[in-house]
């Protein structure tokens, strides 16, 4: 992942990092990237598949035979055991999320993992500040709950510039996820997060590795396009891709020639088409088209 992101940092664009949820989305994500001639980072979580090793191996095979650069990233790697198990698989990078720990503890745990990962040729992404989660804040069919993060709650968790500089120097991570205003999941309908662009600029100038944002979905096109231009090199997106997939199913997206029965019986092609179209849209927005 490191070379893919270093190039993005130099050329001021960002690489899309969609979650892949099953074997078919691996194919779809890579095909979409090939269509756009764009590099891509496949985000895989530890819970994605019961046989994760085989799943990642499949992704690796597809990546090797792809016409564009593909990284396979463990997203939000959990405890030490999970990280070490992942390092034995074919991940090209792992994200170690210790953002809930105190600064010194975060550094201590992540540095140790970086040493091991780098020995094995695997890149490491870490997070400083904390990117929270909107749980089911969306009114369009997401899980129901009232956990909506307020702007004030968020500001307290934003990444601090001096800490970020020290953190990267001491841990030797290859890229850093920063908290500048986005949160995981979807936002309540009509609400777009406010992104602290001044903070982003300071981070971009001071921190010597590529910056990442999580919670790209629903952040607003203007926000995302500007963030990618002004210092973000990797955007994690999941919810918007799934949402578009569901939309295509609900709207009966298929060729006109398909009858209603076909549409009802075979909703999956519509789902993947929605996922792919949304991903394509974001690749354009992040300006990574033709950057393979
Ligand atoms: Zn995340």
Q: Is residue 259 part of a domain?
A: no
Q: Is 75 a known active-site residue?
A: yes
| 195 part of a folded domain | yes
List binding-site positions for Zn(2+): 76, 97, 127, 184, 214
User: Is residue 144 scored above 50 in pLDDT?
Assistant: no
Q: Among 6, 27, 51, 75, which one carries the catalytic annotation? A: 75
Distance 170 CA to ligand 1 centre (A): 22
**8-27: average pLDDT:** 97
Residue 270 lies in a domain: no
Neighbours of ion ligand 1 (CB under 5 A): 214
Percentage of the chain lying above the pLDDT 70 cut: 88
The whole-chain average pLDDT of the chain stands at 89
Query: Residue 142: is its pLDDT beyond 60?
Result: no
Closest CA to 276 of 34, 93, 4: 34
For the chain, the DSSP string reads: -HHHHHHHHHHT--EEEEB--SHHHHHHHHHHHHHHT--EEEEE-TTS-TTHHHHHHHHHHHHHT-SS-EEEEEEEE-SHHHHHHHHTTT-SEEEE--TTS-HHHHHHHHHHHHHHHHHTT-EEEEEES---B-BS--SSSSPP--B---HHHHHTTSPPHHHHHHHHHHH--SEEEE-SS--BSPPPTT--PPP-HHHHHHHHHH--S-EEES--TTS-HHHHHHHHHTTEEEEEE-HHHHHHHHHHHHTT-S-TTS-HHHHHH--HHHHHHHHHHHHHHHHHHTT-TT--
Query: How far is ligand 1, taken at its centre, from the CA of residue 131, in Å?
Result: 7
| CATH classification of the domain holding 60 | 3.20.20.70
**Lowest pLDDT segment from 83-92, 141-150, 263-272:** 141-150
Task: Give the pLDDT mean for 60-64.
Answer: 97
Res. 62: pLDDT tops 80? yes
- Cα(257) to ligand 1 centroid in Å equals 40
Q: Please, what is the Cα angle at 171 between 166 and 174, to 5 degrees? A: 100
Judged against a pLDDT cut of 90, whether residue 263 lies above it is answered with: no
Q: Residue 130: which pLDDT band, with cuts at 50, 70 and 90?
A: confident
Specify if 234 maps to a domain: yes
- The reply to whether 245 falls in a domain is no
Distance (angstroms) between ligand 1 centre and the Cα of 266 equals 31
Residue 129 lies in a domain: yes
Domain count, the chain: 1
Full residue range of the structural domain in which residue 159 is found: 2-239
| Lowest model confidence (mean pLDDT) among 10-14, 30-34, 157-161 | 157-161
Rounded to whole angstroms, the Cα distance separating 245 from 242 reads: 5
- Please give the DSSP secondary-structure letter assigned to residue 88: T
Looking at the predicted structure, is the pLDDT value of residue 166 above 70?
yes
- Expressed in angstroms and rounded, the spacing between residue 7 Cα and the centre of ligand 1 is 22
């Amino acid at each position: 992942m490191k070379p893919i992101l270093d190039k993005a940092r130099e050329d001021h664009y960002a690489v899309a990092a969609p979650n892949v949820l099953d074997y078919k989305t691996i194919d779809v994500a890579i095909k979409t990237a090939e269509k756009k001639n764009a590099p891509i980072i496949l985000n895989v979580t530890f819970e994605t598949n019961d046989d994760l090793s085989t799943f990642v191996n499949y992704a690796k095979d597809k990546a090797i035979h792809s016409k564009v650069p593909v990284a396979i990233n463990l997203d939000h790697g959990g405890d030490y055991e999970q990280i070490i198990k992942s390092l034995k698989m074919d991940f090209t990078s792992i994200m170690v999320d210790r953002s809930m720990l105190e600064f010194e503890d975060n550094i201590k745990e992540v540095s140790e993992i970086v040493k091991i990962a780098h020995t094995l040729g695997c890149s490491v992404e870490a997070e400083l500040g904390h990117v929270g989660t909107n749980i089911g804040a969306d009114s369009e069919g997401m899980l129901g709950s009232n956990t909506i993060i307020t702007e004030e709650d968020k500001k307290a968790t934003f990444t601090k510039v001096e800490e970020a500089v020290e953190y990267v120097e001491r841990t030797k991570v290859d890229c850093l996820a920063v908290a500048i205003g986005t949160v995981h999941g979807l936002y309540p309908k009509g609400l777009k997060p406010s992104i602290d662009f001044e903070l982003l600029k300071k981070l971009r100038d001071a921190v010597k590795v590529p910056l990442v944002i999580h919670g790209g979905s629903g952040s607003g096109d203007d926000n995302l396009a500007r963030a990618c231009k002004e210092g973000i090199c990797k955007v994690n997106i999941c919810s918007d891709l799934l949402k578009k997939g569901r939309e295509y199913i609900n709207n009966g997206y298929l060729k006109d020639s398909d009858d209603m029965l076909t549409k009802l019986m075979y909703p999956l092609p519509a789902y993947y088409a929605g996922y792919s179209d949304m991903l394509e849209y974001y690749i354009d927005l992040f300006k990574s088209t033709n950057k393979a």
